[in-house]
Structure 1
Amino acid sequence: MINHETISLQDCVYQGKGNIVSDMGGEKVMLSVQNGKYYNLGEIGGKIWDSIENPISIGRLVSTLMLEYDVDQNECEQHVISFLEHMVGEGLVQVGADEHRE
C-alpha cells in the first residue's frame, strides 16, 4: 500500500479484496471486512469502483468519466485522484504499474 505518496494518471488502480459492496438507491455502499468500516461511495464513487474491477490507468478512468459526465478535465483529474488516494489510504484500492495484470 502506498502511504503519503501521490498517485498519477499513469498509475493503474484496481479494487482491493475483502470488501462487501452493495447498491442502495443508486449509490454504492461498502463494508471493509479488513478494517470493519462502512463507506458510502455515492453515485460517482460507485461508478469509479465498478470501473476498477480490473486494473485500469487513472488516465483512462478519467477519460471514461468525462464521456459520461459534463466535467472539466482538470477538475475530473483532481477529484478522481483525491478520491483514489483516500481509498488507497483506507486499504480499499490497490495501485499497480501494469494495466494488463491478471
Structure 2
Amino acid sequence: MIKSKSLSLQQSVRQVKGNIVSNMGEEKVMLSVESGKYYNFGDVGGNIWDLMAESITINQLVISLINIYDVEKAECEQQVFSFLEQLLEEKLIELV
C-alpha cells in the first residue's frame, strides 16, 4: 500500500466549493475564484474531480478509477496521491 507524506488511503477528500468548472470536449477545466488560476484537469483528472463532489475516501477513488481505466492498483494509487497532493497544495480540495 502506498502512502504519501500527508495522505492515506483511508482519508476522505472533497472539492472546495466556489470554483468555476466546465467541460471542454472530454477535458475538465476550472477557474479558481480565490486565486484567479486556471486549471486543465484533462480526462482522468476530471473524473477524479467529479468523484470528489461529495466526500470520498482515497481508496474509493482508486477503486473507481481501476474500474474505469486499465491500470494496476499500485500505479493508480501513486498517480492519485500525486494528483491529490497538487490539488491540496493549490487549496482546491480539503481533507474531511
TM-score range, shorter chain: over 0.9
Query: What is the TM-score with the length of structure 2 in the denominator?
Result: 0.93
* Matching residue of 2:25: 25
Alpha-carbon separation, structure 2, partners of 1:28 and 1:68? 17
| C-alpha RMSD of the superposition | 0.7
* Matching residue of 1:8: 8
Residues 18-52 of structure 1 deviation map (CA, whole Å, 9 limit, x = unaligned): 21000001100000000000000000000000000
Q: Where in structure 1 are there 5+ consecutive unaligned residues?
A: 97-102
* Matching residue of 1:60: 60
User: After the TM superposition, which segments of 4 or more aligned residues of structure 1 sit over 2 Å from their partners?
Assistant: none
* Matching residue of 1:71: 71
Alpha-carbon separation, structure 2, partners of 1:76 and 1:84? 12
State the aligned residue count: 92
1:34 maps to amino acid: E
Query: What is the TM-score with the length of structure 1 in the denominator?
Result: 0.88
What SS class does the counterpart of residue 91 from structure 1 fall into? Answer: coil
Identity of aligned residues (%): 54
* Matching residue of 1:93: 93
Alpha-carbon separation, structure 1, partners of 2:18 and 2:36? 10
Alpha-carbon separation, structure 2, partners of 1:14 and 1:48? 10
Alpha-carbon distance, 1:10 to partner? 0.6
Q: Where in structure 2 are there 5+ consecutive unaligned residues?
A: none
